[in-house]
């Protein structure tokens, strides 16, 4: 392809010649009837293959304390599993409850529990709703669409706050949370955030832990989905539970984690961790809901990994699968769009996504063009609450699932669509200007 | 032991001699420091052994439609699994959602969903609560304590209704449900009920399906936990979903089932089935809560059983494990207590329990005596809402978990305690009478 100079410095003839050439390429691609998908953060089959031996386990179902893991019981999960993940994540095993097959479900249930029962003596949030209030959450943007879906489903009003290079814009967060008692929480993906790959600085974590909030039951939903999912660089972020305790707000954080992107999505093990008081409260509700989650799957994970070191080693292998795909996308973006003025992007250190920003007003058009050329992208707007990106510019690229060969094709089509959508936008602006002059 | 004649026909010297001998035996037993448990319906290790080969599965993770079951997706469960259980239970696979590791969780989530969102356009039940109403459920008694715990946790008021030999007392049920719009549902264990082993007659099922209810969103929670758990006799009960549809109340039933007592408790597969409209509604909420439940565990079950016939065969093997235990308990009760006037009991055709009734006011004392002699029973009152058995007479015996050897000891201690508690009661009544006369 071409176009390394800023598009808006092209002469009119150059501009139209280039756009014409892009349309020609686009018609070619459309004719190929491709079907490629960069929409969701799904592991590739080759990543899943690395966990296949786990499916022969557990070999022995007797726990270290002699309990038969095949039978009923153990509300908070087997001790071996709480130990393993506690050590991996720097959490106190006594402050961990092992959940079901995915942390999404654990997050939803925790939110639902706040609506149904409230927390630590505060009013149930459903009651607030019927008293004319509306629980609100701060949503760093761009963010994870499934967080937003949960809020929408439960009637939580979402307030976007900017996500900066070191975490949420804490000045805005502290101002809002300090002023409005209906603001009940914030979504955080503190490590390799979805989609930008932001990792929270120590200052950000401490500010979240220590800020004064108008709501006594303000909660941080700390979705540490990518805690150990490093690709280019190992990152460690401060322990939110410790920081909140130090700051005198021990009950503020709920820490979530799962093995969805470590072993098998949807057949993994999830966990929630929090203060002693919150764990006690969660268990008191949980015991009406379940006798305990799948202990055999917990044991399967424990027997497969054995130690936190083995999990880190496994993550290195997964990173080796992912790195060439991230390299490919980032290299092609560099080659084709750097300096063009048509796209900005972040280089993540880990996680599952590459977040890009088109020219304002071009994300939907880009996604639409790509779709018609056979490449499914995450819907434009998905990274914003209510699916509404006010600038219509953010797109989340998920390079993990396609093979390298598929990804090469998909990225080139994506780049082509970015160029067309961007130039169409410039063309439109030009025509508006010319009309205004004439 | 002794005492086959009705205790209340004994002469005073005979009565005291017997009671003295019972206390002597009781002291002997206490001295042995036994630790036996007949409290919960837990399968024995020998039952669980029959499913061990399942833990080597799934061997192949590709579904019949080519989908990789190891990855994200499939909200309502893999088609193979919905087919298998649909065929086993006479349900339409399109009206089935496969749930998580236990139906308890599915039931709780369904109830929670009614509180949070309501159903088919009716008000959320949490809203009713804040408007001064209280959702109420009819609870056939004796019944399953975990149903009652869910209601208590969510603030559902429980109204006990008698469970007769062919199901709930439908005259009472229809009268209550027809008169009070706050009565929102009923708990039913239609096959081998917990604890009495009652199987609902066709008349009962049709009456439940057709009765008029004051609440437009009245729901039957049809917990078919023991649908295929026959021990002495195969029982088939009418299909509640079909009957409700015929009666013009298609959205009334939620049908629950799980493999907790087929394969592994807590590592099984659960399901919910209902009308098309309810399934659609449940999925619309579920998709905020989960991307889908554990497909590999679904596939594990499918590959292990393959056909409904194999499940039935497996249940026969499980029944062969359970039958000697039920025989033992029932035989010993017959030998020691039949005609004594101290205990009544039901002979179940299947399920997991033997329900007994002591003399009024003797259940707690019996359970207490047994506990002190090293035998843990389900708490007296557990089979009633709020743990309050107004007659203090029902006790649930769970003979499945102990070995035959343990069970022999446990049953004899139980019988001893029934006798002591019963005679103490008679003694008390005698003394009250004598004081009244003097």
Residue B438 within any structural domain of the chain: no
Task: Please give the mean pLDDT across all residues of chain B.
Answer: 96
pLDDT at A374: 97
Maximal CA-CA distance, chain A: 87
The per-residue pLDDT for range B207-262, each reduced to its tens digit, is 999 999 999 999 999 999 999 999 999 999 999 999 999 999 999 999 999 999 99
Based on the fold, state whether residues B14 and B115 are members of the same structural domain. no
- Measured in degrees and rounded to the nearest 5, phi and psi for residue B350 equal -175, -160
Residue A64 within any structural domain of the chain: no
DSSP string over A175-202: HHHHH-TTEEEEEE--SS-TTT-----H
Domain range for residue B325? 7-47+312-432
Burial of B289 per CB tally in 10 Å (0-12, 13-18, 19+): buried
Cα A200 to its chain centre, rounded Å, is 14
Query: Coil, helix or strand for B392?
Result: coil
Based on the fold, state whether residues A156 and A259 are members of the same structural domain. yes
Average pLDDT over residues B320-326: 98
The closest CB to that of A296, out of B146, B152, B264, belongs to B264
Based on the fold, state whether residues B293 and B326 are members of the same structural domain. no
Based on the fold, state whether residues B111 and B31 are members of the same structural domain. no
Chain A partners within 8 Å of B267 (Cβ): 70, 294-297
Q: B149 and A288 in contact by Cβ < 8 A?
A: yes
The closest CB to that of B40, out of A45, A72, A146, belongs to A72
Residue B65 within any structural domain of the chain: no
Based on the fold, state whether residues B105 and B39 are members of the same structural domain. no
The closest CB to that of A71, out of B43, B104, B294, belongs to B43
Torsion angle, alpha carbons of A313, A318, A319, A325, to 10: 170
Q: Nearest-CA residue of chain B relative to A75?
A: B266
The per-residue pLDDT for range A249-269, each reduced to its tens digit, is 999 999 999 999 999 999 999
Q: How far is A263 from chain B (nearest CA, A)?
A: 9
In chain B, the number of structural domains is 2
Helix (H) or strand (E) holding A91: none
Mutate to test the interface with B, among A50, A51, A55 (most CBs of B within 10 A): A55
Q: A289 and B57 in contact by Cβ < 8 A?
A: no
For chain B, the 3-state helix, strand and coil shares in percent, each to the nearest 5, are 45, 15, 40
Mutate to test the interface with A, among B296, B400, B401 (most CBs of A within 10 A): B296
Q: Nearest-CA residue of chain A relative to B53?
A: A56
Give yes or no for residue B85 having a pLDDT over 50: yes
Give yes or no for residue A114 having a pLDDT over 80: yes
ipTM: 0.96
Please say whether the beta carbons of B8 and B426 come within 8 A. Answer: yes
Mutate to test the interface with A, among B39, B53, B55 (most CBs of A within 10 A): B55
pLDDT at B436: 79
Nearest to B98 by CA among B268, B307, B276, B285: B268
The closest CB to that of B127, out of A43, A130, A292, belongs to A130
Cα–Cα distance, B356 to B415 (Å, whole number) = 11
Mutate to test the interface with A, among B50, B152, B291, B302 (most CBs of A within 10 A): B291
Cα–Cα distance, A306 to B150 (Å, whole number) = 36
Please say whether the beta carbons of A342 and A7 come within 8 A. Answer: yes
Question: A357 forms bridges with which residues in the sheet?
Answer: A344, A394
pLDDT band at B5 (very low <50, low <70, confident <90, very high): low
Residue A282 within any structural domain of the chain: yes
pLDDT at A438: 65
Chain A partners within 8 Å of B378 (Cβ): none
Q: B264 and A116 in contact by Cβ < 8 A?
A: no
CATH number at residue A255: 3.40.640.10
β-pair type (B394-397, B354-358): antiparallel
Sheet holding A343-345, edge to edge: A343-345, A354-358, A394-397
Based on the fold, state whether residues B290 and B389 are members of the same structural domain. no
Q: Nearest-CA residue of chain A relative to B128?
A: A130
pLDDT band at A399 (very low <50, low <70, confident <90, very high): very high
Q: How far is B218 from chain A (nearest CA, A)?
A: 20
Q: Residue B268, Cβ neighbours under 10 Å: how many?
A: 23
The per-residue pLDDT for range A270-293, each reduced to its tens digit, is 999 999 999 999 999 999 999 999
Chain A partners within 8 Å of B103 (Cβ): none
Residue A55 within any structural domain of the chain: no
Q: Indicate the residue among B307, B336, B352 that finishes a domain.
A: B307
pLDDT at A5: 65
Q: A288 and B100 in contact by Cβ < 8 A?
A: no
Q: Write down the pTM of the prediction.
A: 0.96
Please say whether the beta carbons of B284 and B111 come within 8 A. Answer: no
Q: Nearest-CA residue of chain B relative to A145?
A: B288
Based on the fold, state whether residues B130 and B186 are members of the same structural domain. yes
Residue B89 within any structural domain of the chain: yes
Based on the fold, state whether residues A239 and A301 are members of the same structural domain. yes
pLDDT at B6: 79
Cα–Cα distance, B295 to B298 (Å, whole number) = 5
Based on the fold, state whether residues A11 and A87 are members of the same structural domain. no
Q: How far is A423 from chain B (nearest CA, A)?
A: 36
Q: Nearest-CA residue of chain B relative to A110?
A: B289
**Of all residues in chain A, what percent carry a pLDDT higher than 70?**
99
- Ramachandran category for residue B195: left, alpha or beta (phi over 0 → left; psi -120 to 50 → alpha): alpha
Based on the fold, state whether residues B236 and B99 are members of the same structural domain. yes
Based on the fold, state whether residues B198 and B284 are members of the same structural domain. yes
Whole-number Cα distances in Å, A293 to B43, B103, B116, B291: 17, 12, 23, 17
Whole-number Cα distances in Å, B43 to A229, A432, B48, B319, B351: 40, 76, 7, 11, 11
The per-residue pLDDT for range B129-187, each reduced to its tens digit, is 999 999 999 999 999 999 999 999 999 999 999 999 999 999 999 999 999 999 999 99
Task: Please give the mean pLDDT across all residues of chain A.
Answer: 96
Chain B partners within 8 Å of A294 (Cβ): 100-101, 266-267, 294, 297
Whole-number Cα distances in Å, B307 to B80, B228, B252, B366: 10, 14, 30, 45
Q: How far apart are the first and last CA of chain A?
A: 35
Average pLDDT over residues B405-420: 97
Average pLDDT over residues B86-115: 98
Helix (H) or strand (E) holding A65: none
Mutate to test the interface with A, among B263, B289, B303, B352 (most CBs of A within 10 A): B289
Q: Indicate the residue among A284, A306, A328 that finishes a domain.
A: A306
pLDDT band at A50 (very low <50, low <70, confident <90, very high): very high
**Of all residues in chain B, what percent carry a pLDDT higher than 70?**
99
Q: How far is B71 from chain A (nearest CA, A)?
A: 5
pLDDT band at A435 (very low <50, low <70, confident <90, very high): confident
Please say whether the beta carbons of A210 and A242 come within 8 A. Answer: no
pLDDT at A134: 94
Residue B437 within any structural domain of the chain: no
Average pLDDT over residues B114-127: 97
Cα–Cα distance, B93 to A136 (Å, whole number) = 39
Question: B138 forms bridges with which residues in the sheet?
Answer: B159, B186
Give yes or no for residue B7 having a pLDDT over 90: no
pLDDT at B2: 44
Query: Coil, helix or strand for A400?
Result: coil
Q: A288 and B154 in contact by Cβ < 8 A?
A: yes
Residue A65 within any structural domain of the chain: no
Q: Which two tokens stand for residue A147?
A: 């967080």
CATH number at residue B324: 3.90.1150.10
Q: How far is B10 from chain A (nearest CA, A)?
A: 45
Q: Which two tokens stand for residue B380?
A: 């007296």
Average pLDDT over residues A305-312: 98
The per-residue pLDDT for range A215-252, each reduced to its tens digit, is 999 999 999 999 999 999 999 999 999 999 999 999 99
Give yes or no for residue B1 having a pLDDT over 80: no
Based on the fold, state whether residues A230 and A99 are members of the same structural domain. yes
Q: B266 and A295 in contact by Cβ < 8 A?
A: yes
Q: Indicate the residue among A288, A306, A324 that finishes a domain.
A: A306
What is the count of residue pairs from A and B with beta carbons less than 8 Å apart? 157
Query: Coil, helix or strand for B383?
Result: coil
Q: B267 and A70 in contact by Cβ < 8 A?
A: yes
């Amino acid at each position: 392809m071409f176009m390394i100079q800023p598009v808006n410095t092209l002469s009119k003839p150059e501009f139209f010649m280039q756009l014409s050439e892009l349309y020609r390429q686009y018609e070619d691609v459309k004719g190929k009837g491709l079907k490629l998908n960069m929409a969701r953060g799904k592991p590739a089959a080759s990543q899943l293959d690395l966990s296949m031996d786990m499916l022969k386990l557990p070999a022995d179902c007797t726990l270290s304390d002699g309990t038969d893991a095949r039978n009923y019981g153990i509300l908070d999960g087997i001790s071996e599993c709480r130990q393993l993940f506690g050590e991996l994540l720097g959490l106190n095993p006594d402050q961990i409850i092992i959940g079901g097959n995915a942390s999404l479900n654990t997050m939803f249930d925790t939110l639902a529990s706040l609506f149904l029962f409230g927390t630590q003596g505060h009013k149930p949030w459903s009651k607030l709703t019927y008293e004319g209030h509306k629980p609100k959450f701060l949503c760093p943007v761009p963010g994870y669409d499934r967080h937003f879906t949960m809020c929408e489903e439960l009637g939580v009003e979402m307030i976007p706050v900017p996500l900066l290079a070191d975490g949420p814009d804490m000045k805005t967060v502290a101002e809002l949370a300090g002023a409005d008692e209906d603001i009940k929480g914030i979504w955080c993906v503190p490590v390799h955030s979805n989609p930008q790959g932001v990792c929270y600085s120590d200052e950000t974590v401490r500010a979240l832990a220590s800020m004064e909030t108008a709501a006594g039951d303000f909660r941080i939903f700390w979705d540490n989905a990518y805690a150990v999912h490093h690709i280019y660089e190992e990152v460690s972020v401060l322990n939110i539970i410790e920081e909140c305790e130090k700051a005198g707000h021990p009950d503020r954080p709920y820490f979530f984690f799962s093995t969805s992107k470590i072993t098998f999505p949807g057949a993994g093990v999830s966990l929630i961790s929090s203060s002693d008081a919150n764990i006690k409260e969660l268990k008191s509700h949980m015991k009406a809901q379940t006798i305990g989650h799948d202990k055999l799957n917990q044991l399967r994970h424990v027997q497969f990994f054995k130690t936190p070191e083995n999990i880190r080693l496994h993550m290195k292998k997964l990173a080796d699968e992912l790195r060439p795909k991230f390299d490919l996308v980032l290299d092609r973006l560099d080659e084709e769009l750097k300096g063009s003025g048509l796209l900005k992007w972040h280089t993540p250190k880990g996680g599952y996504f590459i977040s890009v920003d088109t020219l304002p007003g071009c994300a939907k058009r880009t996604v639409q063009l790509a779709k018609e050329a056979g490449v499914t992208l995450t819907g434009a707007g998905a990274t914003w609450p209510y699916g509404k990106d006010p600038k219509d510019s953010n797109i989340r690229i998920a390079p993990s699932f396609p093979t390298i060969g598929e990804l090469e094709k998909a990225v080139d089509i994506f780049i082509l669509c970015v160029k067309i959508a961007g130039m169409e936008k410039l063309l439109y602006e030009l025509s508006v200007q010319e009309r205004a002059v004439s």
